[in-house]
Amino acid sequence: MLIEATDDQVDVATGEILAPGLASIDEVWAAIEAVVSRQQLTAALEAIIELTPPADSDADEAWRAMLVGRFAMVRPFLPQLCEVIQFGATAEGRPVLAALRTLPSLMGRKRVTPEEINASLLIGSWRRLVLRAPHLQEGQVDWKAYAFCVLEQFHRLLRRREIFAINSSKWGDPGAKLLQGPAWEALRPTVLASLRLPEQPGTYLTRQAETLDAAYREVAGRLPANTSAGMGDDGRLHLAALEPVPEPDSLVALREAVEAMMPRVDLPEVLLEVFSWTGADAAFTSITGKRPGWPTFPSRSPRCWWRTAATSG
């Protein structure tokens, strides 16, 4: 009713654009209350506000808020994580590593101000949980939520080796063993020539970026018509499960032929047969120290002389 009362109207028969039919707020309310009472509308809006998450919320806010209440789980090891292990970082990981090293100084304090944290690290629902939690007083931040925010990003960058443990074989710097200084300068022309890379990477990287951008745009343009792929509510690309490719008749026939050629005997029978031909059992020593003596059987089927061996003990 509000849209119809305030927007221009189009006469379907003639195509003529007409001015809004209602000119004042009182007339708009009168038209709305002819459909639903103001009390019902107010109650509906309150329910929507209560059920709808804030604009800066995300799907992870619920479990992140629950995580903040379990700070006791990380309190014992957090100071040691910052002091005992020597970490390094790339340019991307340095802000997170610096924030991690400040966490012990914030623990246990009753009042932490926004100036004492790195607010640029607050992404998604962490911003609300750290800066605007209901229990906070004006000018304070939730340092526990901030600690978990930093730890979450620390873990993500540690897996990507943007943050690394110095002198660690598994979690160390992936570029530590690369040639550097004079050694790299001496081999640089040879390496670049073998990889067909230019001396200056700017033009090459620009060309690769354009190729990647074109590929992304091509894929995005095909998504609306692709029934096997789509973007979910979580903002991620979801692909439908691939149906199994039917086996060709030639593969089925080959499998049946191979199975038909396989001997119908058990593995122990095959080993005993080979031992009787080659005497390979002489290379083994019994646990009792005696040489195993496999009986020699006349030429008969493996299954037949296996039964004979079992009967003779």
Q: How confident is the model at residue 311 (pLDDT cuts 50, 70, 90)?
A: very low
pLDDT digits (tens, 9 = 90+) for 256-293: 999 898 877 787 888 888 888 998 888 877 776 666 55
Nearest to 99 by CA among 67, 130, 132: 130
pLDDT of 300 reads 44
pLDDT digits (tens, 9 = 90+) for 82-135: 888 899 999 999 999 999 999 999 888 888 999 999 999 988 888 888 888 888
pTM (2 decimals)? 0.50
299 by Cβ neighbours in 10 Å (0-12 / 13-18 / 19+) ranks as exposed
pLDDT of 304 reads 45
Q: Which residue has better confidence, 240 or 248? A: 248
Average pLDDT of span 189-212: 92
Average pLDDT of span 132-157: 89
- Region of residue 89 (left: phi > 0; alpha: psi -120 to 50; beta: else): beta
Helix residue spans in 160-230 (DSSP H): 181-195, 201-222
